[in-house]
A and B are shown apart, each in its own frame.
Chain A
């Protein structure tokens, strides 16, 4: 597991049924591109988060494939529908096999 990886997500606490909400996510990760060299001229191996997914009550909102051109501390912003109360689940997949997860509940007014 890469060191110091910490996910942050911003989801409204509640919404009206059928509303569209904006979700923002950020995870601390160095996103080593595999293009850089160390002081001895050796290529620093690629080590990135290669996939990010967001689900609501088990149904997919967005599924993103990331390449090394995504900046350090990957950030995503997107829109989701909230048909009912439930839980957003966020998952990041690391090149090293680690999986980082977090979830946020949303109430329906």
Chain B
């Protein structure tokens, strides 16, 4: 029913919309962009990658790694990987021989380490401050998003499979609560757009399910890589709320909850969105 409504809204607007039947395939690898929703996502029957909601032209940018402008930043991160920095005179590559060894990491983050919920950005900055003796990178800065893109790329095509039990359970509960809590002058929760109304038009745009399996994502809007928390911040501003802090407990909990809602979708990092 919901999809029928969505299709009607799209047809009425006459927007080019490849929709749920389009196939995302990059360099001979097929991606899961639509699958059955996980059991813990009780209000959705199917989950869709944000890619399915984009126009043909935007979708095409992700079909070829050369056409995908995000790879400019992946290239920059390859240089950063070997660049020694800080008092210890070390580079990423001093300890981690191959970035390929991080295959699978993106699918499992955020995770609980010693009772704390950590995102990929935390792990990178821990390396920088503890092992390299270097300054931490800004959460959504150019160097950080380039590096999370390079590391995330190693998991591309693998299904999202974050752990939500055990130690992670209280963080997941908190993230879920945030997802359904109305905030801001517009008094809206994440769910109002991304669960109740995905597929329909918000002005001239299609609302997605707000899935995070393609982050960091290159947005045509600002022509750079955008972090998950940066996107959360943008959404909160749009509903006239005071955003939580990037890298703070609230956003990390929300990231965990959203990662769990994407369970089974392929990692698309680095994706292209409008």
Contact = CB atoms under 8 A, between A and B. Distances in A.
Do A and B touch, yes or no (CB under 8 Å, in the complex)?
A: yes
Interface of A: 4, 6, 8, 10, 24, 26, 28, 30, 71-73, 75
Contact of A24 (B66, B72, B76): B66
Given A4-B142, A6-B75, 12 more contacts: A6-B72, A8-B71, A8-B72, A10-B66, A24-B66, A26-B72, A28-B72, A28-B73, A28-B76, A30-B223, A72-B223, A73-B72
Contacts of A30: 223
B114 interface: no
Interface in B58-99: 66-67, 69, 71-73, 75-76
Contact of B223 (A6, A10, A24, A73): A73
Nearest to B70: A73
20 contacts: A4-B76, A4-B142, A6-B72, A6-B76, A8-B66, A8-B72, A8-B75, A10-B66, A24-B66, A26-B69, A26-B72, A28-B72, A28-B73, A28-B76, A71-B223, A72-B223, A73-B69, A73-B72, A73-B223, A75-B67
Contacts of A71: 223
Interface of B: 66-67, 69, 71-73, 75-76, 142, 223
A-B residue pairs, 7 tightest by C-beta: A72-B223, A28-B72, A10-B66, A73-B69, A24-B66, A6-B75, A73-B72
A72 B72 CA distance: 12
A4 B71 CA distance: 13
Give the most central of A24, A26, A30: most B CB within 10 Å.
Answer: A26
Nearest to A31: B223
A28 B66 CA distance: 13
A28 B76 CA distance: 10
A71 B67 CA distance: 14
Nearest to B71: A8
Contacts of A4: 76, 142
Contacts of B72: 6, 8, 26, 28, 73
Nearest to B72: A28
A75 B76 contact: no
Nearest to B79: A6
A10 B66 CA distance: 7
Contacts of B75: 6, 8
- Give the most central of B67, B72, B76: most A CB within 10 Å: B72
Contacts of A8: 66, 71-72, 75
A24 B71 CA distance: 13
A24 B67 CA distance: 8
Contacts of B73: 28
A68 to B, nearest CB: 14
A39 B71 CA distance: 30
A28 B223 CA distance: 10
A32 B223 CA distance: 12
A28 B218 CA distance: 13
Contacts of B69: 26, 73, 75
